[in-house]
Amino acid sequence: MESETPQPAEPQDIHRREFMWAMAGLGAATAAAFAGWGALEALVPPGTADEWHKSVCRFCGTGCTIRVGMREGEIVDIRGHEDGHNKGVICVKGSMLRALPKIEGRLTTPMIRRNGKLEPASWDEALDLIGRRFKEIRDTHGPDALAFYGSGQLFTEETYTANKLFKGGLRTNNVDGNPRLCMSSAAAGYVRVYGKDEPPGCYADIDHAELFFIFGANPYECHPPLWERVQRRRAANRNAFVICVDPRRSETAKRSDLHLPVIPGTDLLLLNAMAQVMVEDGLCDMKFMQRHVRFDRNGETVDFEAFRAFLRDYTPEKVEQQLGIGADLIRHVAHRFATSRASTSLWTMGVNQRTQGTALNTMLNALHLITGQFGRKGATPFSITGQPNACGGVRDTGSLSHLLPAGRTVTNPDHRREVEHKWGLPEGAISQTPGHDAVSLFRAMGDGRVKGALIMCTNPGQSMPAADRYAKAMQDCFTVVSEIVPDSETAKAASVLLPAALWCEKEGVLGQGERRYQLVPKLLDPPGEARSDLWMLVEIAKRLGLGDLIKARTPQEVWDEWRHFSADSYYNFEGMTYDRLRALPGLQWPCPDEDHPGTARRFVEGEDPFVSKGAGIEFYGRKDKRAVVYLCPYVPSPEQRSEVYPLYLTTGRVLEQWHTGTMTMRIPELRGAAGPARFTVSEVDAKRRGIEAGDMIEVSSAFGAVQGRAVIDREMRPGLVFAAFYDARLLVNRVVADHVDPVSKEPEFKLTAVQMRRLGN
């Protein structure tokens, strides 16, 4: 296992929200101690726990290992686990996990909508109704009138079971989920480039990198322990240098050595121009390319000269105006990237949530491949993941509408046969038609093609783009929602609402951003009638007459089934037993047997068990053992600013709030620290419209309108407006466009043309 984790040292970053924490009643001393690496845990006043349990944070994909302190059957303390990859560090959301099981207004009983109103019901009534309606729908309209919409926050055992139940049992590939809104462009990029999904590198690469290329990511707020690790690398190595590419002056951009404030939506021009400079200035690693790389133009293999010719349209001089970054600076960045001892790229939603998300992912990988910035410690193309189980739970188990488990696809007849065989199904049982991706699914729910849906552990009523349209779609359908609270925007549209156990009220495996799987132990009983999502799936399967297919019924039974399932694939994690996961702060796959320590760096000899001896680096995901560099033309977004809609709206996150806020808005310290959501606008745009700080404004697009208060930010670029999406009172997704990337089908949350006007104060 990787051991080059940083040594404790002085915290490197002082958090801007100290004072807010102080105001939130935590006291100035506590707030000041909330300062960074190794110190965050001081936020929580020392509890008087008398037992400690190893667990994992349920919030983001950083996947911090934690210690949960308990007394008299209650959680009283949360600490970062020193043995975890996070070396004891957690962020404020992790610290406040102790409050999560006790949030106000938990849903504790099943509810059925009768005469337009949700009313309490027994589990038997709810489950019988679901069984009856799902069967009726399937028998009358066919299996494709049913769907599962899941989440990168369910446990692996839950998602695996749902996928098996719907694809293998009900025989529809309509299985999708919120990772489509999040990681599908990253997955599409990795699959296109290496033939296999998931990042090749690991967090420890941060400790060795000299150049950090942070692209469309704001780790200061969204992955704080990783940002802190970058800070420590900077403190330890004078040559370390951080470049941040973000149209917005984000908290990460402010703290970087170089911020490239690209014009929103144009940054593929930057990547192509960097490649052009690398090719023309002799910065490419020709040996690496000759051994490991192939070039592709629209499915046809081409040579390096064709790549070079393609890039001539993207010289720094040709793109600088459209991109908003000068040619000299582009050259400088290309040289730095190529010549640094080790370059690590870190990217997330500024890249993925774009109509060119797949192309951007492909090109970020390409820059590493053409310069040989790959496979050495600190040299890696790293798409950081968002949710705690988008990787392990959804991508690896193939729980998206075009996939089957362990890297298989529904359109491949061999893959279908293999899965049918493993699941004990007759040949031809699995449909050959890909199901609906998220946006297409909600459209189908809206126009009657899909009539029954099970939605688990996600809140599409607030998180889908063009939200009004899709809230209506859920109402028009027989929609079953599993939730922990009764009043999410999705719960409001439910026909049947099922009370779910959360995080430490159930047991299961989470798989995070560096291919690390960790076990969450059950420490508490769920409140009232709440049950685990796995239990619900098993009970629904029984009601559908599919109990024989879903034979594994406890988390460990499901895990063992899935572990054995993986054994003949490159995802092999046969060696990750519950016993090992209980004892260790996680393991990284591939991990083929119980003596295997796990794999920090994939495709690298000596680390990855699948690489042949003497190969050094081997891209075994493809028959020719090569990674593919694509020629990716820049295509402007369909959302273009106009006279009517002269501004761009972009959306994202803040440190203290998780997604749609159903959990973190119920934790007073977090709610207090972030405050209500607001629109951040530039001084110029505010002045032009007579808007002053705190005024009510309306932001509208071709998709809808929403009202909220304005914050005027001097550092905001003119022409851009920002809002986070955690606050249902400022339901920004009403305005957000729902165009998708043609390959990954991920919506472009990051770009909507809008207008803005002052309403009053």
Ligand X SMILES: Nc1nc2c(c(=O)[nH]1)N[C@H]1C(S)=C(S)[C@@H](COP(=O)(O)OP(=O)(O)OC[C@H]3O[C@@H](n4cnc5c(=O)[nH]c(N)nc54)[C@H](O)[C@@H]3O)O[C@H]1N2
How far apart CA 245 and CA 259 sit, in angstroms, is: 6
Beta strands in 237-331 (DSSP E): 241-245, 258-260, 293-297, 300-302
Is residue 197 within 8 A of residue 187, CB to CB? The reply is yes
The minimum distance between CB 534 and ligand X, in angstroms, equals 10
Site track for ligand SF4 across 79-118, x = CB under 6 A = -----------xx-xx------------------------
Q: Is 387 labeled as catalytic in the residue annotation?
A: yes
Identity of residue 520: V
What span, in angstroms and rounded, lies between the C-alpha atoms of 753 and 755? 7
Helix axes 316-323, 268-280, angle to 10 degrees: 160
Maximum pairwise Cα distance, the chain: 71
Q: At what angle do helices 357-371 and 268-280 cross, to 10 degrees?
A: 20
Q: Which stretch binds Mo ion (CB under 5 A): 77-85, 160-168, 380-388, 473-481?
A: 380-388
Token duo for residue 663: 């959990």
Spacing of C-alpha 441 from chain mean position: 19
Name which position in 38, 225, 392, 434 contacts ligand SF4 (CB under 6 A): 225
Q: What is the 3-state secondary structure (H, E, C) of 304-373?
A: HHHHHHHHHHHCHHHHHHHHCCCHHHHHHHHHHHHHCCCEEEEECHHHHCCCCHHHHHHHHHHHHHHHCC
Q: Which residue is it, tokens 């109990």?
A: 547
Quote the least distance from Cβ 78 to ligand SF4, whole Å: 9
Q: Using the structure block, give the residue that is written with the tokens 């705690």.
A: 388
Minimum CB distance to ligand SF4, residue 84 (Å):
9
Q: How far apart are the first and last CA of the chain?
A: 57
Rule CB under 6 A: which of 243-282 touch ligand X?
Answer: 245-248, 250, 262, 264-265, 267
Residues 648-667 binding ligand SF4 (CB under 6 A) are none
Residues 405 and 160 sit within 8 Å (Cβ to Cβ):
yes
183 is catalytic: yes
Select which of 57, 91, 111, 182 is catalytic.
182
Using CB under 6 A, pick the residue from 49, 64, 182, 454 that binds ligand SF4. Answer: 64
Task: Name all contacts of 406-413 with Cβ < 8 Å and 24+ positions apart.
Answer: 406/565, 406/566, 406/569, 406/570, 406/571, 407/196, 407/197, 407/569, 407/570, 407/571, 410/167, 410/173, 410/434, 410/435
Strands, DSSP E only, in 72-218? 74-80, 111-114, 117-120, 146-150, 175-177, 211-215
747 counts as binding Mo ion under rule CB under 5 A:
no
Catalytic residue among 54, 87, 93, 164: 93
DSSP per residue, 611-660: SPTT-SB--TTSTT--EEEE-------S----SSS-EEEEEE--TT--TT
Task: Between 278 and 325, name the residue whose CB sits nearer to ligand X.
Answer: 325
Which residue type is seen at 106?
A: R
178 binds ligand X (CB under 6 A): yes
Residue 218, token pair as written in the block? 């704001």
Q: Which residue is nearest to ligand SF4 (CB)?
A: 94
Rounded CA separation 622/743 (Å):
19
Site for ligand X in 49-108 (CB under 6 A): 60
716 is known as an active-site residue: no
Q: Which does 131 bind (CB under 5 to 8 A by kind): Mo ion, ligand SF4, ligand X, none?
A: none
Least distance (Å) between residue 40 CB and ligand SF4 = 8
Report the residue closest to Mo ion, judged by CB. Answer: 386
Binding window for Mo ion (CB under 5 A); candidates: 227-235, 384-392, 561-569, 728-736: 384-392
Contact between 659 and ligand X (CB under 6 A)?
Answer: yes
Contact set for Mo ion, span 142-201 (CB under 5 A): 182
| Least Cβ distance, residue 353 to Mo ion (angstroms) | 9
Q: Which stretch binds ligand X (CB under 6 A): 431-439, 457-465, 572-580, 668-676?
A: 457-465
Catalytic residue from among 12, 387, 518, 657: 387
Which of 386, 393, 461, 708 is an active site residue?
386
Question: Binding Mo ion by CB under 5 A: which of 177, 324, 386, 575?
Answer: 386
Span interacting with ligand SF4, options 55-63, 267-275, 439-447, 490-498, rule CB under 6 A: 55-63
How far apart are alpha carbons 168 and 461 in whole angstroms? 28
Beta carbon nearer to Mo ion, 60 or 721: 60
86, 151, 185, 744: residue in contact with ligand X (rule CB under 6 A): 151
The DSSP letter of residue 518 is: E
The residue count for binding ligand X (CB under 6 A) is: 59
755 part of the active site: no
Count of residues interacting with ligand SF4 (CB under 6 A): 13
Residue 386 a catalytic site member: yes
Q: Does 57 bind ligand SF4 (CB under 6 A)?
A: yes
Asked if 463 and 440 count as a contact pair (C-beta separation under 8 A), the reply is no
Stretch that binds Mo ion, among 385-393, 563-571, 590-598, 682-690 (CB under 5 A): 385-393
Q: Is 586 a catalytic residue?
A: no
Nearest CA-CA partner of 482 in 496, 472, 492:
496
Residues that bind ligand X in the complex, under the rule CB under 6 A: 60, 151, 153, 178, 181-182, 215-218, 221-223, 245-248, 250, 262, 264-265, 267, 348-350, 353, 386-387, 456-460, 463, 482-485, 488, 500, 502, 533, 650-653, 655, 657-660, 662-663, 725, 732-733, 736, 749-750
Positions that interact with Mo ion (CB under 5 A):
182, 386
What residues are labeled active site? 93, 182-183, 349, 386-387
* Footprint on this chain of ligand SF4 (rule: CB under 6 A): 57, 59-60, 62-64, 90-91, 93-94, 223-225
